Chains A and B, each alone.
Chain A
């Protein structure tokens, strides 16, 4: 790279010029920031201002620029200089908009602005322009695992946009669970009768589609590589193993019904008791005529038991609601009523859940004479030539019973996600220790693997709860914790066909984005388009494996010498590895221990007697920093003694920043990150949790430094905390004042 030439630009627009002494800021950038070139402009983001910067880059050889104007989240289109390293000093949202325009506040406001100028200058000098990931793959073929409703939809949607698809199905035909249905819950007006599932039509479209290559009776033997350059070994029953070049993967492996034999008290395993799938088989056999039991007797009365082994508070069975079963029972009751209106059909439910237009479907069933009783079933037993269902009527509040020729149990969905990685890791550890039982267990668990990923962190996507795969449920539902591997359908959460179809379409779109990004060496969400990626100075590495273990996305493998082996295309650029590294050898070109460390050191720390404390805020750029920005836009004022540095994730916070800050005289450090735990909101899933875990270790260090624990404050921030956040900052600043100034100033 050519010689570094630095430039700082101070904007005077948006009242910055009126509220701040910009001439002094220019001096600060020149003297303290030691920038080669410093310019003021009345309106920096105007065509004229941008042209000025562009001219400096093109003709003056400027390579590093610090733009001291508005927040880094604002005016990104104007300040879009991809060929130089760039930092942003947040003088608008971060300073003048959160401070009152009074004479009394002028001095501290100016100090705040000067610090942000120093920080921007210090940061940019530690940065480099990301060169981009050279290790890209350009395969644009999508692999869809599972040939059910979700899988077929995903394959067709991707094909329609012009992408090649490889579709793998474990069984001998396409269709999956939907293929086993007689009819499906209606998805269009008037929502009054079961309708054709459409599976045959989808399968025919796939057969006719030249873009889609189908492997039946096939499973994945091994998935190696990274987004854009996966090598997938496909084992076809009684055939050779085929290797395909794959860009991205959609896992649409669906579900299996919960085993009703685990519900003996509800009649599971008895004659004349079936689960919903069992009834579908009967209805298919009846082909629109009267439905007959296995013994050939025509069914004249049927009882549907909802939530069989679901929503189980004892946790013995499934704890969750599978969402589709109420409507499915309604549909199945209609099979009987449509064939013969005199069949008694009773649905016993505790809460009937009819999402979407299914409410109309429910009404139609009532109209057809299906009886719905709110009751809790305690026992199903054989009696006479049928069953007796004992239940508590919840409206009449009495124990009662009903007789029926046939009982249908609405058992729930169990996702097909492969082994739980935590359990597998544990078994692996025990097996390495020589435990024979554990070795067996590992083999057994590995046999359930779906993707057989050749990743250091395990063969499948990590699971969250109840075996469903982990994803950011609200913001990025199709993402898994493996880049360019997307989940669609009931493998992600319980759902019906209508939702699975929608899911498959969304996942196909995300997978296409991921393939394209991987080809360009860019990150997938949430830092989509980011060209930086982590690198390690291996000569300093102690092979502690923290980065390879902690990466929430399984991006880092280990080489034969147990050094970390980064797979840039799998990386989401959260920096959790950088925060984890105890010897600080991992860094990004534009985000490193140095870029943040330099900013921390650049802040001017007034002496003990100044009554001007300094509080460092490390704010997550996903939620906390936008919340602070929006607080600024709303002119919610907060304390002038805080200095905010955005971080990619709390997981990227290296403890050295905190100890350095406290050592150099900051009076307090505040961490702002997303919620962690079961209801996590972290955009990198585990980042905020890991970050917080590490911070909990710092308290010992604080004790060693003879500092109060309250000097480090951890705050969970949501993007909506626009009004409460300033108050929390002020409260903390007040507590710092109460505690007194740090004894480390001026040392």
Chain B
């Protein structure tokens, strides 16, 4: 993976803005930012400590070519996808999407932080959903609950058992999913072929080997 990081560094030299424009989803919008700061002011998470850079600043860093600072930033990982910034942006820049685009790109070139909870959730969800074409909710919950060990997993599960029972009673949750008996897509092969094709197209568009 770090090979790809070097590969990209070599390809774009100092033009990090171009790198983001071509490689990160919706990255070509970064240049349209007019630095008004409405996104930063609107972000609900920005009121917590621990944000490295508000979106406006992140975009400025990209334009200033500060590659390491951007890729090491935790900001795109902290985005909760509330879409407040996107809605309020006077330039209609898809800020939420760009944040995820940058995060995804950082992950792709091996620059994602280790044991990042957002990354863990995304990976778990993606693997779960793409396996059968539908989300197996029990297994998804299990994986997330037991991420930090058995003791903490049981504790979390016990705390939520009333909710779970309620969902089962209302036929919103099928306990049999735990052992793999769950609804699936009729054409799993077709889904996988579709995903492969999408991957191929993306790689082609972004000019990289899949």
* A positions within 8 Å CB-CB of B: 352, 362-363, 366-367, 369, 371-374, 393, 395-396, 400
Contact = CB atoms under 8 A, between A and B. Distances in A.
Contacts of B64: 373, 393, 396, 400
Given A371-B17, A395-B56, A366 B61 contact: no
A366 B61 CA distance: 16
B34 interface: yes
B32 A372 contact: no
Question: Which one of A367, A393, A396 has the greatest number of beta carbons of chain B within 10 Å?
Answer: A396
Contact of B57 (A352, A372, A396): A396
Given A373-B60, A373-B64, A367 B91 contact: no
A395 B31 contact: no
* Number of chain B interface residues as a range: 10 to 19
A371 B63 contact: yes
Given A366-B31, A373-B63, A374-B60, 16 more contacts: A352-B34, A363-B32, A366-B32, A366-B34, A367-B31, A369-B31, A371-B17, A371-B63, A374-B35, A393-B60, A395-B56, A395-B57, A395-B60, A396-B60, A396-B61, A396-B64
A371 B61 CA distance: 12
A372 B34 contact: yes
A390 to B, nearest CB: 14
A362 B31 CA distance: 11
Contacts of A393: 60, 64
19 contacts: A363-B32, A363-B91, A366-B32, A367-B31, A369-B31, A371-B17, A371-B31, A372-B34, A372-B35, A373-B60, A373-B64, A374-B35, A393-B60, A393-B64, A395-B35, A395-B56, A395-B57, A396-B60, A396-B61
Interface string B35-50: 1000000000000000
Contacts of B32: 363, 366-367
B205 to A, nearest CB: 19
A373 B34 CA distance: 9
Interface centre among B31, B32, B56 (most CB of A within 10 A): B31
A349 to B, nearest CB: 10
A362 B35 CA distance: 13
Contacts of B57: 395-396
Contacts, number: 31
Q: Which 6 A-B pairs have the closest CB atoms?
A: A395-B60, A366-B32, A366-B31, A374-B35, A371-B63, A396-B60
Nearest to A359: B34
B10 to A, nearest CB: 18
Contacts of A372: 34-35
A382 B168 CA distance: 74
A91 to B, nearest CB: 56
Grouping DSSP codes into helix (H, G, I), strand (E, B) and loop, the B interface class, with mixed when no group exceeds half, is helix
A11 to B, nearest CB: 58
Contacts of B61: 396
A225 to B, nearest CB: 53
What DSSP secondary structure best describes chain A's contact surface? Answer: mixed
Interface of B: 17, 31-32, 34-35, 56-57, 60-61, 63-64, 91
Interface centre among A363, A366, A369 (most CB of B within 10 A): A366
Contacts of A363: 32, 91
Contacts of A400: 64
B86 to A, nearest CB: 17
B37 to A, nearest CB: 8
Contacts of B60: 373-374, 393, 395-396
Contacts of A373: 60, 63-64
The interface centre, meaning the residue of B56, B61, B63, B64 with most chain A CB atoms within 10 A of its CB, is B64
A172 B101 CA distance: 59
A371 B14 CA distance: 15
A115 B35 CA distance: 65
Contacts of A396: 57, 60-61, 64
A652 B57 CA distance: 60
Nearest to A395: B60
A153 to B, nearest CB: 33
A306 to B, nearest CB: 14
Contacts of A395: 35, 56-57, 60
A403 to B, nearest CB: 11
Contacts of A367: 31-32
B19 to A, nearest CB: 14
Contacts of B35: 372, 374, 395
A373 B65 CA distance: 12
A400 B56 CA distance: 18
Nearest to B31: A366
B28 to A, nearest CB: 9
A292 to B, nearest CB: 23
B7 to A, nearest CB: 22
Contacts of A352: 34
Contacts of B31: 366-367, 369, 371
Nearest to A363: B32
Residue among A352, A372, A395, A396 with most chain B CB within 10 A: A395
Nearest to A349: B35
Nearest to B30: A366
A367 B60 CA distance: 16
Interface centre among A372, A374, A400 (most CB of B within 10 A): A372
B72 to A, nearest CB: 15
B23 to A, nearest CB: 16
B188 to A, nearest CB: 42
A95 to B, nearest CB: 54
A616 B32 CA distance: 63
A399 B17 CA distance: 20
B41 to A, nearest CB: 14
Nearest to B15: A344
Nearest to A344: B15
Nearest to A354: B34
Contacts of A366: 31-32, 34
B94 to A, nearest CB: 15
B36 to A, nearest CB: 10
A366 B59 CA distance: 13
Nearest to B59: A395
Nearest to B91: A363
A372 B35 CA distance: 9
A374 B57 CA distance: 11
Contacts of A362: 34
A654 to B, nearest CB: 56
A480 to B, nearest CB: 39
A400 B60 CA distance: 13
A367 B34 CA distance: 12
Nearest to A398: B64
Nearest to B37: A395
A363 B35 CA distance: 13
Nearest to B28: A367
Contacts of A369: 31
B73 to A, nearest CB: 12
A400 B61 CA distance: 12
Nearest to B63: A371
A194 to B, nearest CB: 19
B62 to A, nearest CB: 10
A393 B65 CA distance: 13
A377 to B, nearest CB: 15
Contacts of B63: 371, 373
Nearest to A371: B63
Nearest to A369: B31
Nearest to A402: B64
A369 B34 CA distance: 13
A369 B91 CA distance: 16
Contacts of A374: 35, 60
Contacts of B56: 395
A746 B32 CA distance: 79
A717 B158 CA distance: 75
A129 B178 CA distance: 106
Nearest to B60: A395
